[in-house]
Amino acid sequence: MVCPYKTVKNSYYGFGDINLYPLVTHFYLSKVEKNNFDDHSARLHQTIPEDIRILKEAELRIGVEELFRIRGSVLSELRDIEKKRQQFKVEMQTYARNVEELKQELLHQQTNLDRLKISVAQAQVAQREALQQNTPGLAPPRQLTADTVPAVLSPLPRNLSKRCQMYSCFDYSRCSLTSGFPVYLYDPDQYSVIRNGWDVDGFLKTTLKQTLSYNSHLTHNPKEACIFLVLVGEVLRNTNDIDKGVESQQNVTGINVEALRQLPYWGGDGRNHVLLNLARRDLSTNSGDIFSFTDTGGDVWQECAPMLPVRRKYLLSFQGEMNRNHNAASPQPSSKQNGSTQNSELDKFIIDHLQQLAKSDTSDNFFFDFECTLATDENINVETRDWILCGTESSRKSILRKSTFVLIFAPGYGELISTTLLQARVYEALRSGAIPVILGGDQIQLTYNEVIQWKRIVIFLPKVRVTELHFLLRAIPDEDILLFRQQGRLVWERYLASVQSTLDTIVAVLRDRLNIPAHPVDDDALNTFNTTFQPNQSPPMEDLEQEESLGPLEPPYNSPTFRRNYSLSLTQGHELWNDWGDPFRLYPSLPTDPLLSSDAKFMGSGNGFRPIGQGQGGAGKEFSEALGGNSPREQFTVIILTYERDQVLLDSVSRLRGLPYLNSVIVVWNSPRLPSPDLKWPDIGVPVHVVKAARNSLNNRFLPLDNINTEAVLSVDDDAHLRHDEILFGFRVWREHRDRIVGFPGRYHAWDLNTNAGWLYNSNYSCELSMVLTGAAFLHRHYMYLYWKWLPQAVRDKVDEYMNCEDIAMNFLVSHVTRKPPVKITSRWTFRCPGCPQSLSEDDTHFQERHKCINFFSQVFGYMPLLNTQYRADSILFKTRIPHDKQKCFKFI
């Protein structure tokens, strides 16, 4: 407080209140606080009234000291005030942070509330659907089989047996749709039906018995059998009469018909009995199938020729010689003899025309050998064979591997529809990659023609069109030639290449005729270490990613399985046998299962569907509330392959907490060292299964485990770090490309320009890609079965040899089956976590091994199945400017 001079003066003279002086002095001292004391004194003398100067020096000193004391007190108070100000400032900052945190918590809780509302709405829809559903849940068919041996019936009269058909001569009561098609094999050593003087090759008989023992349909209980197999000797012409119990010495040689009737389950007329002929001699038929048995003796892929180059040295080749003794050695009625003579004359005309074609000035090369210098004519049956093979098997194989097409003649007798020689030449051609051209193809039938689409493999040409043959072959483009060759190799590998595949195919064809489903495919049922082991769970962790509502939180919902047990072979039977299918096994689901039309979900077939905006569509809010798309609702399974990186693994599992549509997490424990009993597994709201692998192998990434309960599988490395929105975006994209690999890290195969003889693995930035690595990718569970049940063992062995390349192998498999490239999503380049222990991919030899893998896998497949793509999937509306009241599908993608 500042007092006027008058007040000071009056106080000095009238009141003697000398205490006012320090205040006045303090006012002036505060003005010059930063100067020294002499300056203070000088200025004070200039400003203090003259009356105050008269004060005694001692009194003035006392006053100044008092002022200094007051100054120190004031400064102390100022320091306290500043300290409190700083404290208040810190408190204000803390309160500001708390306000922001509360705002975030409010947003977080609002997001959770939205998710819960969505979850409740979805649960209510699911409950209504469950109440309305009146069909039972489907599962693998339970076997309902017969329980008695066939009743003994009287043999059919001969006139009726000749007209015997499946509807009149087959006991369907033993083969119900749910029977599983049990097949009983008569032991040929115990029940021999071979006539005296005839025998069955011992080695082949033993091989067939052993091979049939591997077939899942084989039963040792004759009471439940649907089909009874009888191994017989040599049949010259028609086996159908024997099936019907006809005793005909003219048609059957080597079979003791009486012994057939004495078989314990013959039942009087031989119903449901099938005769397997093991003869290696020449057979022919005018009504039934001929099955030729072959065996490669090694890996099937090693027997096959490479599919490229598409066009080979010779456009067309033929090696064979007409049997000149054929007509003389087989006297026939005059009408047949005339027909045979006409065929012989036509064959001579064909030979003359082809020889002239080879001598013409065309740029195409031909190899024709109509006069064998070395004939392989063992065990010729001159009654049926009108052509003799030329050269040895190795010499023929050499020519076939150089031929784009190979010529095969139909049997000379028009009544015959197949012969062993014809089948053998077709098999030779398919194995060598030469496309068979059958002259007289309009009069013959090939094995398994009821299920195999031979027109996609063989060119059937009437003999009279031989003059148009060259024009036809030249008109076929490279793409179609490769399709012929690929389809031929598929059929040869799957159905013809070995005794095992031949017998499995025979059983499958018989089962297909009865429309009985195959046995369900085996799962690799691996328990979690043992039946009592349960991982310890740590308390729930705080949700890490709550920036947006991404979908409902639902209890685990397993994908429906085995829904098409009885309809698959009816609606897609040809695809099952000739394309992506496997007719030997029944799978829970397929990536090629058909889709309903968009309007069906609103007109009587809406169970399970979750259309966006209940069918009206919408932006981000409505998008997050429902899966939408063309398929019913579903979830996905995360599979993590790990090896002794416990903390890295636990962090990766923890990040999955709160992830919508997550069904379960499966950890494949590749290490021989078991996890510590004290290891705390995070509680993420869904089951976490820990599977102990039998051995350390990268192939274990694709084990078809029995606890995979969804069609969609997200395969991730234990050090991969993906955000929730990225995972769900990938899941939604995969639902539109269910038959492909859909994922994040893209790679491509590049041609080696230095050697010009192979492929290189490349991970550089590129505008094209051909692989998506399975360290962070979605794929269908079906491909995990194919990886272990169908993929050649040599591929998995190479993966184990290098401890590398399993992701490349899966890309080869899927591209080979679908003939489509993978789908890459978003622009993420890396997913490795900083500070993680070193991974296999950082080894110096990693890329060299991957180069070798690509070239080896190409040899196994016979060609390069990987396809290039310049396409990448990004979220809809990710760059679209939308109104403020709308939300993007994904805010941060």
336 pLDDT tier (thresholds 50, 70, 90): very low
pLDDT at residue 581, as a whole number: 86
Residue 160 to residues 168, 289, 417, 878, Cα–Cα distance (Å)? 10, 22, 24, 74
The residue-averaged pLDDT of 409-432 equals 85
- Per-residue pLDDT of 160-215, as tens digits, reads 555 667 777 889 999 999 999 999 999 988 888 877 666 667 777 888 888 899 99
Per-residue confidence (pLDDT) for residue 335, from 0 to 100: 46
807 annotated active-site: yes
Report which residue type is found at 355: Q
Domains 300-497 and 620-873 share a fold: no
Q: What is the pLDDT of residues 689-728, one digit of tens each?
A: 999 888 999 999 999 998 999 999 999 999 888 999 999 9
Q: Is the pLDDT of residue 424 over 90?
A: no
User: Residue 383 burial (CB < 10 Å; 0-12/13-18/19+)?
Assistant: middle
Question: Mean pLDDT across the stretch 48-54?
Answer: 55
What is the structure's pLDDT at 160? 56
pLDDT of residue 887: 84
Q: In the prediction, which pLDDT does 838 show?
A: 52
880 contact partners, CB below 8 Å, separation of at least 6 = 888
- Rounded to whole angstroms, the Cα distance separating 386 from 502 reads 26
- Hey, what CATH class is 620-873 in? alpha beta
Higher pLDDT residue, 543 or 642? 642
Measure Cα distances from 122 to 548, 608, 618, 633, 733 in Å.
18, 10, 17, 10, 21
Q: In the structure, what pLDDT confidence band is assigned to residue 10 with cuts at 50, 70 and 90? A: very low
From residue 867, alpha-carbon distances to 828, 859, 870 in Å are 22, 16, 10
Residue 18's pLDDT is what?
A: 43
- pTM, two decimal places: 0.82
Which range (234-248, 281-295, 779-793) has the least confidence? 234-248
Query: 16-30, 239-253, 330-344, 441-455: which has the minimum mean pLDDT?
Result: 239-253
> Distance between CA atoms of 106 and 865, rounded to whole angstroms?
53
Annotated catalytic residue within 289, 807, 874, 885: 807
**What is the mean predicted confidence (pLDDT) over 779-803?**
96
H or E element at residue 732 = helix 724-736
* pLDDT value, residue 890: 86
Q: Which residues contact 218 (CB under 8 A, 6 or more apart)?
A: 182, 183, 184, 185, 212
pLDDT at 5: 39
Highest mean pLDDT among 117-126, 460-469, 614-623, 643-652: 460-469
DSSP-assigned states of every residue in 129-188: HHHH--SPPP-SPPP----SPPPP-PPPPHHHHTT--HHHH--GGGS-TTS---EEE--T
User: Which has the higher per-residue pLDDT, 886 or 45?
Assistant: 886
The more confident residue out of 379 and 678 is: 678
Domain ranges of the chain: 5-132, 141-279+498-518+573-586, 300-497, 620-873
**Strand order of the sheet with strand 776-780?**
688-692, 662-669, 636-642, 712-717, 776-780, 742-743, 823-825, 872-873
pLDDT tens digit sequence for 471-521:
999 999 999 999 999 999 999 999 999 888 989 999 999 999 999 999 999
Q: What is the mean pLDDT of residues 213-226?
A: 94
- Mean model confidence pLDDT for the chain: 82
Q: Using the predicted structure, report yes or no on whether residue 372 has a pLDDT greater than 50.
A: yes
Measured CA to CA, the distance from residue 713 to residue 725 in angstroms comes to 17
Candidate from 1-15, 122-136, 228-242, 644-658 with smallest mean pLDDT? 1-15
Indicate if the pLDDT at residue 246 is higher than 60. Answer: no
Mean pLDDT, residues 842-850: 82
Q: Are 474 and 364 in contact (CB under 8 A)?
A: yes
Copy the structure tokens of residue 413: 């007798």
Specify the pLDDT at position 291.
60
Which whole number is the average pLDDT over 608-624? 90
For the residues 53-64, what does the mean pLDDT come to? 75
Pick the CATH number of 300-497 from 3.30.70, 1.10.3470, 3.40.50, 1.10.1760: 3.40.50
Q: Is the pLDDT of residue 529 over 60?
A: no
Measure the CA–CA gap between 148 and 654, rounded to whole angstroms: 58
CA angle 732, 735, 738 (to 5 degrees): 145
Q: What pLDDT is attached to residue 355?
A: 92
The pLDDT-based confidence of 2 (bands split at 50, 70, 90) is very low
